[in-house]
Structures are given as structure tokens and as C-alpha cells.
């Protein structure tokens, strides 16, 4: 079964729903463990997600299993499906979810939560796990499963940590269960014994699963080539996983510890195989902090000697201001597009608070260097509402931008400002979050003090950050709020043109929940909804970092300064 042509003809981006991509994998369903991989956002976002691609490859590499994909349909497609009473279909075979053993969500962002319900409902499944009997088993992985409480009512079990370490164990356990039992409760009990899996109602705590050596795990060398333009439309090689910079606001920096690097030989092999199997003319080298890769000199040489002569352009989306040389900019700069950096704060005092170990001198040297190497544009990211922030810190953002533009008039300066959100498993998980009204005042203050009109400044809707903060720090009590808001029509909350705070606000009022309570500062003794998740970094270490941050005490990268006993190693 496939979607009717006359339905696809009338909707946005019909290529997102037809499958048939180059390198697609189709397998016979007979005697297979059948897994539908679901991404709760659009095709163009989900197809850009590396973790989703890795799990797809691992499952399909096994003779005894198969994986097919579904994505959240855009609002026009959802409306069309409901009007014609057509269920959501997988892209590979056009089958319904009733044909699968497992429905596995990848959830990278809290504002995807409402789309989980859209997918469940369009697949014909009850929203609540307590109301689902039999198969498919509904599981979830991704960053958000390290603080899963708000979506616990909807999911049967969670993978916490690196999915490559867990997915094969789930398939093996499912096969054994299927051969010996038909009771779902026994399957869940069986799965709860696997490290890295949390089963609500059975597990009391869960320890994050970690891949020790990323050189040894499977990596997709013949990835799908999408039918339509996607967010990151290029070949991708993950060169390093984890970061020990210790920026106190950064969830990924603590959740993906320890640092694990891919060897330069492995990077070369993967790059060549992926470029050959896809025909891409651009490759991205991914990491939380790519310029901290220890063999950056070898990577630079590979780019200069192999990729540039082959007319392959290179994307490095995560550069640090204080670690990259002119040679590296020369190597990646054949097209001279813009570069992106994140000073985060406008004063040295506040950069010390958040442990962003760069100075204003580092910032100016970097802009001078990229300008000299012929780059045309620089984008800078800043946050407002950081702990201990004062008006002087806000004015410091405007002063810094004015001075950069004064010295480098020909550089196109693009600036993005977002509201700080206290994230679980970080030192700032106890910090407070500013209200949208406070955020608007700070944004206005920056804008009023920008002397140069040719500084392009954009900012995120503070109400989006408000919702993100609530869903990040909330517990299972938010399940009813999510359902209520979804039934009223919220979809794609991460998309500016779809976000509707008024619906969420009305749901909080109807449920009698004061959402402002989620923004308040917490103490070490306050219970946190994610305390049952052992993310491998000690809670005491995070608290010490929080107190150090409030005092403006910096820590150097532990790979250089030595171990701080965070617990992960």
C-alpha cells in the first residue's frame, strides 16, 4: 500500500512521503524482527539526524531483523490522512505499524513531544502505554530519554545513552521472548535487565549506556540519499563523540562524556566510502567541538590533499574560537561561506561563570583571522538569562558587536540570541530561568545599544524557550498537559510558524498547574524528576560546578588539566 497520488499531489513536499531513495533498504518480512523507526519531526529534519541513520543501518545489517522509517507528517498531510482515514505508512514497504513488532522513537528535543502523539494516533495506537496490549512494543531513545518523565505515560521502555550499545540486545531479547512467551509483561521484565534500558513501573533506576570505542561500532557507509532537500544535505562522518570543555549550561557536553575520538584512518575510510556510495559533493565532520579533535593537523592535511583536489567541500559546524589555526581555515575555506562561533556571553565575568574559556582577545583574533583568509560572514551565538547576569552583561553583548563591526567593516556580522534554559544533568540544572517578559526587555536593551545598523540580529521567541524549560524540568504530571494541548491542536512546537503558546497556557490553567514554578531556582536537596537516571556524571560534581560557576571560578578542559573526578571515567 502506498499513499494515493491525488493525495500527495495536493500537499507540501510530497517527496517526503514516497520513499524510493537511493540506497534504500527493503527486506522480506518473513521470519524477521520488524522495527519501525519513528522520528517525531519532518522528513527533512529526521533524515539529517545521524543517530537515526546509525540505528537504521545497524538493524538492517542483521539477517534476522529489518528497519523501516516513518516521520511526523506536516499539518497538511496529517489533515489529508485523517480526512481519508488513511494510516501512517512506512516509507520502505508502505505497511502499517500493525505489521511491526517494535515502534522505536528517536527523540532529540523536548519540543518534539506533541508529534509523538500524532504518530501514535495516526498509526492507530492508543496514546497511553497502559491502554496498549500486545505489539508493537513502543520504545524511545535519544537525548530526551535521559529525563523522560513527561513522556513516560506514552512509552513502554526507554533506551538511555548510546543506542548502538543497546539495540542489538533488544533484538536478541525480543527473539528469545517471542520463542518462549506471548505475555508483554514478561518481555518488559526481560528488557529491564539490560543495562541502559528503563522500563516505567519495573525499573527503579537506569544507568546510561556508553560506547567505549567509536572506531569499533558500525557506521552507515551507504546512507540514504534523500528525495528532497533536507536540513543537512551532505555526507557526514562523526569524528569525535563527547566534550570535556565543561560549559556549565551544555546538556550534550555532560550527557555524551567521555570523549571518544575516531582515528584519522577510520575517518578517511568512512569519508571515501560514503562519498563514493552517495555522490555527495560536500562532507561534514561532526562533533560537539570538532576543533578539539586531537589530530586536527592530520585532518587538515587530509582535507587539503584529498578532498579539496576532488572538489569536495567541507563543513565543520562546531568550531571553537580558541583552537583553530589559519591553516585549518584555509583547508575548509574553498567556498568562503560563513563561519559560526558561540561566545555565549558579552563579558569576561559571565563567560567565567558559564565556564566558556575564551577571552575577548580570542574573539577578535578569530574574526581577524577569518577575515584575512577571505571569509565573508561570521555568525555569533549569545544567550541571555544566564545565572548571575546583570545589565552590564547584556550591554556587553552590544559593545562587543559594535567593536567587531567597527574593526572589520567588510565582514557580514550575523547574531543570534536565545534564552538560557536550565537543562537536566548539567551544573545549571538547579538554576532559574527568566520569563518571556524579562527576556524581551533584555533583547530590547541589546538592540537599542547596537550602534551599527548593519549588524543582523535575530532571536528566538522567548515563549518557545519557556515551553522548552517546562518540558525539560517537568515530571510525569506533564503527560496530561501534553495530551490536552495536542488534542487542542499543538503540532511542531519547534517550528516558528506552528508554535502556539496560547494553547499550552490554557492547558496549564485548566489543569491548575502554575508553570512559573518550573522556572524557579532549586537547591541540592530538591528532588529532580530525573534523579533515577544515572548519567555517569556524579550529582555532587555537578553541584560543585554550579557553586563554582556562581563564584566565577573557571575549570580548564580535563583532557589538559587532569581529572576532576566527575565520575564518567
pLDDT, tens digit (0-9, with 9 covering 90-100), for 202-248: 999 999 999 999 999 999 999 999 999 999 999 999 999 999 999 99
Cα dihedral value 198, 472, 550, 160, nearest 10: 20
Cross-strand bridge partners of residue 209? 161
Report the 10 Å Cβ neighbour count for 497. 6
Whether residue 345 is predicted with pLDDT greater than 70 in this model: the reply is yes
Where residue 554 falls among pLDDT bands split at 50, 70, 90? very high
User: 52, 84, 86, 44: which is closest to 68 by C-alpha?
Assistant: 52
How confident is the model at residue 335, as a pLDDT? Answer: 45
Whether residue 505 is predicted with pLDDT greater than 70 in this model: the reply is yes
pLDDT, mean over the chain = 93
Q: Pairing relation of β-strands 102-106 and 137-141?
A: parallel
Where residue 410 falls among pLDDT bands split at 50, 70, 90? confident
| Across 101-105, 109-113, 223-227, 329-333, least confident range | 329-333
What average pLDDT does this structure show over 536-547?
97
How confident is the model at residue 176, as a pLDDT? Answer: 92
Contact between 81 and 88 (Cβ < 8 Å)? yes
Contact between 331 and 304 (Cβ < 8 Å)? yes
* Domains defined for the chain, CATH in brackets: 5-207 (3.40.50.280), 235-460+538-550 (3.80.30.20)
Burial class (CB in 10 A: 0-12, 13-18, 19+), 482: buried
| Across 68-82, 86-100, 451-465, 474-488, least confident range | 451-465
Percent of the chain with pLDDT over 90: 83
d(CA 100, CA 142): 21
Cell of 175: 527473539
How confident is the model at residue 366, as a pLDDT? Answer: 86
pLDDT tens, position by position, 414-432: 999 999 999 999 999 999 9
Q: Which sign, positive or negative, has the C-alpha torsion 507, 511, 513, 514?
A: positive
Cross-strand bridge partners of residue 384? 419
Where residue 120 falls among pLDDT bands split at 50, 70, 90? very high
**Which residue bears the cell 496529517?**
78
d(CA 220, CA 57): 6
Whether residue 551 is predicted with pLDDT greater than 70 in this model: the reply is yes
How confident is the model at residue 324, as a pLDDT? Answer: 60
What average pLDDT does this structure show over 355-378?
86
pLDDT tens, position by position, 305-344: 999 899 998 887 767 766 666 666 666 664 445 678 899 9
**Which residue bears the cell 513502554?**
156
Contact between 34 and 101 (Cβ < 8 Å)? yes
Amino acid at each position: 500500500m502506498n499513499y494515493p497520488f491525488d493525495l500527495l499531489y495536493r500537499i507540501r513536499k510530497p517527496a517526503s512521503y514516497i520513499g524510493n531513495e537511493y540506497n534504500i533498504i527493503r527486506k522480506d518480512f518473513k521470519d524477521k524482527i520488524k522495527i519501525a523507526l519513528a522520528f517525531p519531526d519532518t522528513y527533512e529534519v529526521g533524515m539529517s539526524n545521524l543517530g537515526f541513520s546509525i540505528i537504521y543501518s545497524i538493524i538492517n545489517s542483521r539477517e534476522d531483523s529489518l528497519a523501516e522509517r516513518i516521520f511526523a507528517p506536516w499539518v497538511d498531510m496529517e489533515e489529508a490522512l485523517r480526512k481519508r482515514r488513511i494510516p501512517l505508512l512506512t516509507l520502505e514497504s508502505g505497511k502499517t505499524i500493525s505489521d511491526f513488532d517494535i515502534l522505536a522513537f528517536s527523540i532529540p528535543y523536548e519540543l518534539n513531544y506533541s508529534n509523538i502523539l500524532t504518530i501514535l494516533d495516526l498509526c492507530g495506537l492508543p496514546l497511553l502505554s497502559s491502554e496498549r496490549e500486545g505489539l508493537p512494543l513502543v520504545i524511545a531513545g535519544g537525548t530526551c530519554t535521559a529525563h523522560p518523565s513527561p513522556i513516560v505515560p506514552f512509552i513502554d521502555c526507554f533506551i538511555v545513552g548510546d543506542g548502538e550499545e543497546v539495540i542489538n540486545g533488544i533484538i536478541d531479547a525480543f527473539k528469545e521472548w517471542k520463542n518462549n512467551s506471548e505475555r508483554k509483561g514478561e518481555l518488559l521484565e526481560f528488557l529491564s535487565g539490560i543495562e541502559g534500558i528503563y522500563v516505567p513501573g519495573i525499573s527503579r533506576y537506569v544507568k546510561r549506556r556508553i560506547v567505549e570505542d567509536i572506531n569499533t561500532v558500525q557506521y552507515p557507509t551507504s546512507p540514504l540519499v534523500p528525495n528532497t532537500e533536507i536540513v543537512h544535505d551532505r555526507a557526514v562522518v562523526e569524528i569525535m563523540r563527547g566534550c570535556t570543555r565543561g560549559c556549565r549550561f551544555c546538556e550534550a557536553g555532560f550527557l555524551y562524556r567521555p570523549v571518544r575520538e575516531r582515528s584519522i584512518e577510520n575517518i578517511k575510510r568512512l569519508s571515501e566510502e560514503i562519498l563514493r556510495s552517495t555522490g555527495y559533493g560536500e562532507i561534514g565532520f561532526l562533533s560537539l567541538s570538532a576543533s578539539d579533535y586531537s589530530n586536527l593537523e592530520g585532518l587538515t592535511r587530509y582535507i587539503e590533499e584529498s578532498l579539496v583536489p576532488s572538489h569536495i567541500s567541507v563543513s565543520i559546524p562546531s568550531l571553537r574560537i580558541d583552537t583553530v589555526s589559519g591553516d585549518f581555515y584555509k583547508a575548509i575555506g574553498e567556498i568562503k561561506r560563513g563561519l559560526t562561533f558561540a561566545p555565549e556571553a558579552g563579558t569576561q565575568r559571565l563567560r567565567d561563570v558559564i565556564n566558556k574559556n575564551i577571552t575577548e582577545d580570542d574573539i577578535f583574533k578569530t574574526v581577524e583571522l577569518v577575515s584575512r583568509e577571505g571569509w565573508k560572514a561570521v555568525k555569533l551565538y549569545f544567550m541571555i538569562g544566564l545565572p548571575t547576569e546583570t545589565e552590564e552583561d547584556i550591554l556587553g553583548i552590544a559593545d562587543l558587536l559594535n567593536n567587531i563591526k567597527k574593526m572589520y567593516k567588510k565582514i557580514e556580522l550575523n547574531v543570534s540570541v536565545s534564552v538560557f534554559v536550565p537543562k537536566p544533568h548539567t551544573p545549571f540544572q538547579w538554576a532559574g530561568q527568566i520569563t518571556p517578559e524579562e527576556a524581551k526587555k533584555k533583547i530590547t536593551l541589546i538592540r537599542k545599544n547596537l550602534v551599527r545598523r548593519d549588524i543582523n540580529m535575530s532571536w528566538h521567541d522567548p515563549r518557545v524557550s519557556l515551553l522548552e524549560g517546562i518540558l525539560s524540568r517537568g515530571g510525569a504530571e506533564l503527560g496530561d498537559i501534553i495530551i490536552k494541548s495536542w488534542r487542542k491542536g499543538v503540532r511542531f512546537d519547534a517550528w516558528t510558524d506552528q508554535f502556539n503558546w496560547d494553547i499550552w497556557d490554557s492547558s496549564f490553567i485548566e489543569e491548575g498547574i502554575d508553570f512559573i514554578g518550573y522556572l524557579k531556582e532549586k537547591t541540592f536537596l530538591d528532588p529532580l524528576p530525573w534523579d533515577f537516571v544515572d548519567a555517569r556524571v556524579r550529582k555532587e560534581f555537578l553541584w560543585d560546578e554550579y557553586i563554582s560557576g556562581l563564584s566565577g571560578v573557571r575549570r580548564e578542559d580535563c583532557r589538559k588539566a587532569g581529572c576532576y573526578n566527575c565520575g564518567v571515567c
